[in-house]
Amino acid sequence: MLRYAVLLVALVASASLTEGLETRACGSVVHPSRVQISGCTEMPCNLIRGSDVSMELDFVSPRASATLHYEVIATALGITAAYELPADRANACNWLSGSACPISQNEDITATLSMPVLPIYPLVSLQIQHCNCSSKVLSVDVPFTQPPVKMIRALLLIALVPALAYANVGRACTGGRPQATNVMIEGCTAPPCDLVRGQNVIAYIDFTTDRFVAEMTTIPTATALGVTAPYPLPGEFAETCRWLEGTSCPLSPNEDVTYRLTIPVLSIYPLVSLSIEIDIVDEAGDSVTCFMVDAQVVPAGRALKN
């Protein structure tokens, strides 16, 4: 089998496969002579949630091969995981242009890869590594960023993190307040999430505004042992607009937003289970988005929940 690892570092918007992108090689694997990504003319590239990304690659086969298949992995927020392609798309022999499997040594090959970007994927930056397998044959590097609306930021490494896509640990708040579309907490894939004493908790919250918003403030509340009390954030961490990714305040109606939340966990906090409500309010004190997460305070040295 033929294998080529493509480290994509790109996707900005344009509407079709146009000029080849300037990419970088992955290790000692053969580098493709041309890489084109749909909608991208320069790096970083945008991945649009709910649509497919089409990539075209030219390379010379270093050896004869009877079969070819795509392997994709992604790295985001320090986590690397396999990105499963639908079976028909993973079979690279189905996507050759002007040739067919088996392929010959030194044969000029043009192959297309179609990657689905599911609507549930989080708005994160990532790296994607792509491999066409039998034995590693070629590789390439490319980066991604967040577009303004309903797009997934990505520093592609062609392997798209399903683990991240399903790591939504938030639940709805009471009172019908707008719910976050996705809540990811570093080191946690399922509640209760570990809050390590003496460390900061980092969370990424995706939400969509339902109105114009000029300013926002983050208001956490904790409930433990039947007692509910404010969970005060340091001033700079409470200023939500300072921690938006790929956008800034004011926000427009129906704008997709990713917010990086930092929650300090003081060394004096008791080792208890608790639920935390995060309510992000506008300048009038009305909720813009809200979520709750179940957690437990644990001592330093204990591994975070995976």
User: In sequence order, which residues have a C-beta less than 8 Å from that of residue 284 and are 6 or more positions away?
Assistant: none
Domains of the chain by range and CATH?
Answer: 34-131 (2.60.40.770), 171-298 (2.60.40.770)
| Mean per-residue pLDDT of the chain | 78
* 68 or 259, higher pLDDT: 259
**Coil, helix or strand for 90?**
helix
pTM, full prediction: 0.50
Residue 197 pLDDT: 92
Q: Which of 260, 123, 263 lies closest to 194, judged by CA?
A: 263
Q: Are 44 and 78 in contact (CB under 8 A)?
A: no
**Chain segment 143-201, per-residue pLDDT in tens:** 444 443 333 333 343 334 444 444 689 999 999 999 999 999 998 989 999 999 999 99
Q: What confidence tens digit (pLDDT) does each residue in 197-237 have?
A: 999 999 999 999 999 999 999 999 999 988 899 998 988 99
More confident residue, 178 or 122: 178
Looking at per-residue pLDDT, the higher value among 4 and 182 belongs to 182
pLDDT of residue 77: 55
Of the candidates 161, 137, 128, the one whose C-alpha atom is nearest the C-alpha of residue 23 is: 128
pLDDT at 148: 36
> Interior CA angle at 124 toward 166 and 192, to 5°?
40
